[in-house]
Amino acid sequence: MFFLSPPLSRLQAVIIDLDGTLVDTLGDFAVSLNRMLGDLSLPPIEPAAIEAMVGKGSEHLIQSVLAHVGAPPTAFDAAWSSYQRHYLAINGEFASVYPGAIEGLRELRESGLRLACLTNKPTNFALPLLERKGLSEFFQCVFGGDAFERKKPDPMPLVKTCEALGTPPSHTLMIGDSSNDAQAARAAGCPVILMTYGYNHGEPVRNVDADGFADSLFEAAQSLRPGGPAARP
């Protein structure tokens, strides 16, 4: 069982991560990155290696991939241009919404909570993905990794998102899949639940300091209803 302060009944809003929380985008990353590497005459990379690199923004992802294949840092500009072109061309084509995500969003909305999507993915990637997967209608606002001066795990994006929602951090729940989300939430003063799937930089998510864990967004949403099942510790 997990306990939030303030009580669940006083939550006013929920901030939800995108990659690894709502949508499994590893397929999109693998296709785009390998097409990028092909453009640069560099060797391909396996999806399993990419998975541990996801979560800190596209710039960090590309830098990590280039280092993994032994490319010099000077290749970044060409890689970034190629990656953007390929990712935008296939955005969402090789991605899938996680089971329970849409049901969870409906449950949260029906509970009267304000919803925001906060991701380290660039905004021009995030918005079309949410639209293509039928998720955009649920959110009052969407902020990408380029929306603020700093990205998660810095608390600034959560604090700014709370301001946009008009809710105090202590009454705004963060739902994510990684230590980035948890660290940002803790520093911002938000309670946090993590999904047991997702990426989390290749590390076990249950080792992360969080208020609870859930196997689906629907399970997490149900735990917020009075008398609902609690997210597991």
* Pair 109, 73 in one domain: no
Question: Which residue in the list 17, 28, 181, 211 is annotated as catalytic?
Answer: 17
* Pair 12, 32 in one domain: no
Residues spanned by the domain of 215:
8-24+96-223
The one-letter amino acid code at 5 reads S
pTM for the structure as a whole: 0.90
Residue 28 known to be catalytic: no
How far CA 91 is from CA of 83, 110, 126, 129, in Å, comes to: 11, 29, 9, 6
Q: From the CB of residue 73, how many other CB atoms can be counted at a distance below 10 Å? A: 9
CATH number assigned to the domain comprising residue 67: 1.10.150.240
Q: Using an 8 Å Cβ cutoff, are 20 and 119 in contact? A: no
Query: Per the domain annotation, does 20 fall within a domain?
Result: yes
* Pair 214, 112 in one domain: yes
228/154: higher pLDDT: 154
pLDDT in tens, 50-63: 998 987 888 999 99
Residue 146 is assigned to a ligand binding site: no
Residue 17 is assigned to a ligand binding site: yes
Query: Per the domain annotation, does 2 fall within a domain?
Result: no
Residue 28 is assigned to a ligand binding site: no
Q: Give the pLDDT mean for 216-233.
A: 73
C-alpha dihedral, 212 to 8 to 157 to 57, nearest 10°: 30
Closest alpha carbon to 203 in 219, 187, 180, 231: 180
Q: Give the pLDDT mean for 57-79.
A: 94
* Pair 105, 197 in one domain: yes
